[in-house]
Amino acid sequence: QVQLVESGGGVVQPGGSLRLSCAASGFSFSTFGMYWVRLAPGKGLEWMAFMWYDGTVKYYADSVKGRFTISRDNSKNTLYLEMNTLRLEDTALYYCAKPITEYGDYGDPLAIWGQGTMVAVSS
Amino acid sequence: DIVMTQSPDSLAVSLGERATINCRSSQSLFYSPNKKNYLAWYQQKPGQPPKLLTYWASTRESGVPDRFSGSGSGTDFTLTISSLQAEDVAVYYCQQYYGIPLTFGGGTKVEIK
């Protein structure tokens, strides 16, 4: 079945870096754009980034632009989120998600979500 | 940015009764060329990832019980649970996918009265 499994979360000091991974299975990963979304403690869902199926187009939330980088390796069916210059307010559960439509741009609902990986930024 | 405003923040409903959640966007989510509203609803239970319930404002996702229905157009949308069940206790979010940045409502917590 369709599955997304995030990993790479952990505890990091402010200013530090982490690289999150999202391993996809059960569908044709290379034909779908992919999203990162986070849920901070006591807050609501916040979209972080989206990347086209072929990696040629990327969009970011202003809160992470210039600090986070979304990337993918279609040969490994894996999506990544490189997180640099981490701040206390980046503490959250990070989810990757898949849309309904193949070859689509960002305008599609998030149909499948992973279980998430926790990032805690703390001194 | 398109701001999504949900109401109420929380809601307590008796089992078997109707629950109604509202969502308003700061600009229209209706795209005339395809006549679609770029609005989705998600359910998130404790310890679980969000689950897609409805999209294009009123299309129910496969496998979602028919007691869940989405309605509305333009800037005003509603998620209705026609007969609340115990397993429906969750936080519900609306989300627009009309423009970047994609944005979510603040969430509505649904509990049993």
Are the Cβ atoms of A110 and B95 closer than 8 angstroms? yes
Look at residues B31, B50, B49 and name the one whose alpha carbon lies nearest to residue B41: B50
Q: Does B96 touch chain A (CB under 8 A)?
A: no
Give residue A44's pLDDT: 94
Q: Residue A104 pLDDT > 90, yes or no? A: no
pLDDT at B36 over 90: yes
- What one-letter code names the amino acid at A121? V
Residue A67 has a pLDDT of 98
Convert the pLDDT of each residue in A2-47 to its tens digit. 999 999 999 999 999 999 999 999 999 999 999 999 999 999 999 9
Share of chain B above pLDDT 90, in %: 100
Asked whether the beta carbons of A100 and A109 are under 8 A apart, the reply is yes
Least CB-CB distance to A45: which of B38, B50, B98?
B50
Q: What is the pLDDT of residues B73-82, one digit of tens each?
A: 999 999 999 9
As a whole number, the mean pLDDT across chain A is 97
| Phi-psi sector, A76: left (phi>0), alpha (psi -120 to 50), beta | alpha
Q: Hey, CA dihedral for A45, A46, A48, A51, is it positive or negative? A: positive
What is the full DSSP assignment across A28-76?
A: -GGGS-EEEEEE-TTS-EEEEEEE-TTSS-EEE-TTTTTTEEEEEETTT
